[in-house]
Amino acid sequence: MRFDEKEEKIVRQAEEVGCFGLVGGMAKNLRTHTKYYASSASKSDGPFYCEECYSDAVLRRCIDKKDHFAHKTPLSPVIPKGESDLHWQCKNSICKYLSNIFPSGNWAVERPIEKNKEKGIPDLRPDVSGRINGYPITIEVQASSLTIPEIVKRTEAYSKRKIAILWVVPLLGELLSAPFRPRQYERYFHSMYYGRIYYWWPDLGAKLVPVHYGVAKRHIEYSSWYDENRDFQEAGDYDKVYKVIKTPIFGEKLNIDQGFYYHKRDKFIPENERKEIPAGFLWQDHLEKWWE
């Protein structure tokens, strides 16, 4: 593999994390705040943290990337590729629930919609689709392999048909209240729905849990040391807000038929993200802004 390919992988990883603080190959020691470079550091020089976002960092030596530091943070337990049973369980529970309440809503799982050549709308296959009080709705159960450009394309295609979209992120199990690092697509949905994301896990049946990504902090411990010139140095004893690690703030569990409304949203570029949210129709919850 060429050097710039290895470099590119590291940049792509940074974009997914949402922090470029480790791209240069430097991290600091958590206790002494001394700088270390991945090319010359060893594991025993740690524990490390990222100067930019204050997440823990780990030293990685891989074949396909040059020696580097990587962010080490917990992620939400999304359903991995190949676990299609749980995806089906999510789609089916939601479809069954909505069919019972709106028997004339024509609810279906993975119904094909033919493309419309004149309007330039591709063919679609909504995960769950039907009508609530006359409004056409699609519920898209995010598969972890879906990329941001695909999410944008799908959102736009449904909007051209004036179908409101509800993106759901299915999890293997309950989301815990401990801080974690949302993935790029989770942050994208969070922006799309005005600061919340809708999670599903098996115990919820046909309900969803809206989650706002709240602030998480790291306490930087006090430390003092003598540097290479034998000058006294001190640092720490303060709290720093993490840039990419968030504390989940849970909203009340919502039924898709009661907690939401048909909402037209304008085009929008979220703060700290380079990805534009297209204009479109959303199935948006009724909750107050972040319910705080």
- Quick one: 181 or 275, whose CB is closer to Zn ion? 181
Other Cβ atoms closer than 10 A to 75: 10
Q: Which residues pair with 232 in a beta bridge?
A: 226
Q: Which of 30-38, 48-56, 82-90, 184-192 is the region at the interface with Zn ion (rule: CB under 5 A)? A: 48-56
Q: Is 53 in the site for Zn ion (CB under 5 A)?
A: yes
Stretch of residues binding Zn ion (CB under 5 A), selected from 14-22, 107-115, 171-179, 282-290: 14-22
CB nearer to Zn ion: give 24 or 205.
Answer: 24
Query: Which of the stretches 53-61, 99-107, 212-220, 276-284 binds Zn ion when contact is defined by CB under 5 A?
Result: 53-61
* Helical packing angle, 184-192 and 148-160, nearest 10°: 30
Q: Is 14 in the site for Zn ion (CB under 5 A)?
A: no
Helix (H) or strand (E) run with residue 218 in it = strand 207-220
Single out the residue of 10, 18, 19, 127 in contact with Zn ion (rule: CB under 5 A). 19
Q: Are 34 and 28 in contact (CB under 8 A)?
A: yes
> Given the complex with Zn ion, which of 69 and 283 has the nearer CB atom?
69
113: which DSSP letter?
B
Q: Check residue 137 for interaction with Zn ion (CB under 5 A).
A: no
Minimum distance from residue 209 beta carbon to Zn ion (Å):
28
By CB under 5 A, residue 46 contacts Zn ion: no
Q: Which CB, 212 or 243, lies closer to Zn ion?
A: 243
Q: How do 164-170 and 135-141 pair as beta strands? A: parallel
Residues in binding contact with Zn ion, number by CB under 5 A? 5
CB of 244 to Zn ion, least distance (A): 6
Q: Does 52 bind Zn ion (CB under 5 A)?
A: yes
Give yes or no for residue 208 binding Zn ion (CB under 5 A).
no
- To Zn ion, the closest distance from the beta carbon of 227 in angstroms equals 24
C-beta separation of 12 from 64 below 8 A:
no
- Nearer to Zn ion among residue 21 and residue 136 (C-beta): 21
From residue 64, give the alpha-carbon distance in Å to each of 1, 24, 42, 59, 158: 7, 17, 19, 15, 39
Closest CA to 58 of 68, 182, 286, 138: 68
Binds Zn ion by CB under 5 A, chosen from 41, 50, 59, 208: 50
Minimum CB separation from Zn ion for residue 273, in Å? 15
56 lines the binding site for Zn ion (CB under 5 A): no
What are the structure tokens assigned to 136, written together?
């056409």
CA distances from 44 to 29, 41, 63, 185, 252 (A): 10, 8, 21, 34, 45
Q: List Cα–Cα distances, 38 to 31, 48, 58, 61, in angstroms.
A: 18, 11, 10, 9
| Interacting residues with Zn ion (CB under 5 A) | 19, 21, 50, 52-53
